[in-house]
Amino acid sequence: MNLFPKKLVIISIALSIIQASLYFYTIHISRKADQLVQVFYLPMMETNSICIRLNKLINAHIETLIQKYTAENYEKVQLDIFALDTAIQSLNDLLKEDPHNLGLPVVQRQELFKIENSILDFTKKKNLSAAAKLFNSNEYIEANNNFTETIENLTEHFYLLREKKLEEHNRFLQAFFFASIALLVLIGNSWIRIYSAYRRNYNNMKEAEKELEEERLKSFQSSKLVAIGELASGIAHEINNPLTVIAGTVDKLKKLQERSTLDEKTLFENVERVQSTVKRITKIINSLRKLSRDTHADEIEMVDSNLLLEDSLEIMEKKCMHHAIAFTVENHAPNIKIPCRSLEIQQVVINLVNNAFDAICKDPGAWVRIQFTHDLNFFYLSVIDSGPGIPKEIQDKIMTPFFTTKEVGTGTGLGLSLSKKLINHHKGELYLDTSSPNTKFVVKLPLHYTDDKKAA
């Protein structure tokens, strides 16, 4: 029985995979956006800011140099020009990367550098008036303003571009958030439905198992009653003969009473014979009654091996003897304590003896032997008959429910399979010993038993 609805599980797994994929894709996009900011936008804007500051610093230092020429001021202007040239190169390198394929032109300042170098030459030659004239010329002022405007426009452009990309990223995150919420609702609903279906199917399965177990118990009880009925039919004369003895004894006493020849000694002897015969009948009937009752609720008890078959031994023995089948018990494990439900073990043995009887009852010199042995951990109860064994081609099938080698209408095919289940409940084994020259079934029971239910 499939406990989970297959289609719903597939849909739920698919939704979960989509959710996980969206999550990891969002992480990837966020990392990429963050990397773009760290590697491109921030360096670009910082470089622009540096260029503007250095450009203003060059203007200030040139003006100071024109007012008062010193070697120190001259060197400051040269250093400022070199630093700005380096910053512009870095800025152009960033523009060449152009991750958005904007096609922006590189930043140019050669014209300004040329004018500034001329101003430096005038100041170095102490021609400060010419330097001042060139510094205040429209050409220099216009070129300086153009450079500053270019840098500021570039800064504003990348600021707006960054804001746009961040806004797009935020919209993506919002879309992901709402999509995730919707997917989580669908996924949660799907898994809730799966769990509900699982619980429903699980409860149905347990109910079916319970019904199956009840049917199994009914089948076993029916099979057991059939087996006991087979035994009872074989020992009917064991009850009929004592009843004949009782009837004859009563008739004899009645006649002696009519003749007035009944003495006390004769009465006592005949009453004792009737009592003994009644006890014999009572023992047989009590054994049959015990064996026929439902035993599945019985507790596991420690049973002496000498008493293990006390309720069934005489019945099995009488049935075999009535059909000229030798019946013996070999107890090589006297006084061994076995944890079991003795009536269930006897039911299994009765079934095995009935099977042996059906197989060999027409053979001359037939015999059945029950044998007890043990080792340190297990007790072995073997039922052996004079048959040549089970054919190899059906050995794997004999424990299968409804498989039988008996004629149609004479066997249910449940005896061995139900017996095997009974022994399994004892944590033991019921198996065919294929190494034996005769047909031999072995019941293997542990000498140390732990009830799982009580342990739990």
| CA distances, 269 to each of 252, 264, 279 (Å) | 12, 9, 16
Q: What is the pLDDT of residues 182-219, one digit of tens each?
A: 878 887 887 788 788 878 888 888 888 788 767 666 66
Give me the DSSP letters along 31-49: HHHHHHIIIIIHHHHHHHH
Which of 127, 125, 99, 116 shows the shortest CA–CA distance to 32? Answer: 99
**Nearest 10 degrees: Cα torsion 167, 168, 170, 173:** 180
Quote the pLDDT of residue 366.
Answer: 93
Q: What is the pLDDT of residues 130-146, one digit of tens each?
A: 888 988 999 889 888 88
Contact of 152 with 52, CB cutoff 8 Å: yes
Q: Is 389 exposed, middle or buried (0-12, 13-18, 19+ CB in 10 A)?
A: middle
Q: How many residues are recorded in the chain? A: 456
Quote the pLDDT of residue 319.
Answer: 81
Quote the pLDDT of residue 162.
Answer: 78
Quote the pLDDT of residue 231.
Answer: 54
Contact of 305 with 333, CB cutoff 8 Å: yes
Give me the DSSP letters along 188-221: HHHHHHHHHHHHHHHHHHHHHHHHHHHHHHHHHH
Quote the pLDDT of residue 445.
Answer: 93
Quote the pLDDT of residue 280.
Answer: 63
Contact of 189 with 15, CB cutoff 8 Å: no
The pLDDT profile of the chain, 456 residues, written as one tens digit per residue, is: 566 667 777 887 887 888 788 788 888 887 877 777 777 777 878 888 888 888 888 889 988 888 888 888 889 888 988 998 888 888 888 778 766 666 667 788 888 888 888 988 888 888 888 888 988 999 889 888 888 888 888 888 878 877 887 788 788 888 878 888 887 888 788 778 878 887 888 888 888 878 876 766 666 556 555 555 655 555 555 566 566 667 777 777 777 777 777 777 777 777 777 777 676 666 666 655 655 555 556 788 898 888 888 777 777 888 888 888 999 998 887 888 999 888 888 888 888 998 898 888 888 999 999 999 999 899 999 999 998 888 888 888 887 776 676 665 455 566 788 888 888 888 999 999 999 999 999 999 999 877 655 544
Rounded Cα–Cα distance for residues 150 and 188 (Å) = 56
Token representation of residue 140: 């220099």
Contact of 36 with 99, CB cutoff 8 Å: yes
Quote the pLDDT of residue 297.
Answer: 60
Quote the pLDDT of residue 48.
Answer: 84
**Helix%, strand%, coil% for the chain, nearest 5:** 70, 10, 25
Which residue blocks in 68-137 are alpha helix, DSSP H?
71-97, 110-124, 128-135
Task: List Cβ neighbours of 391 (8 Å cut-off, separation of 6 or more).
Answer: none
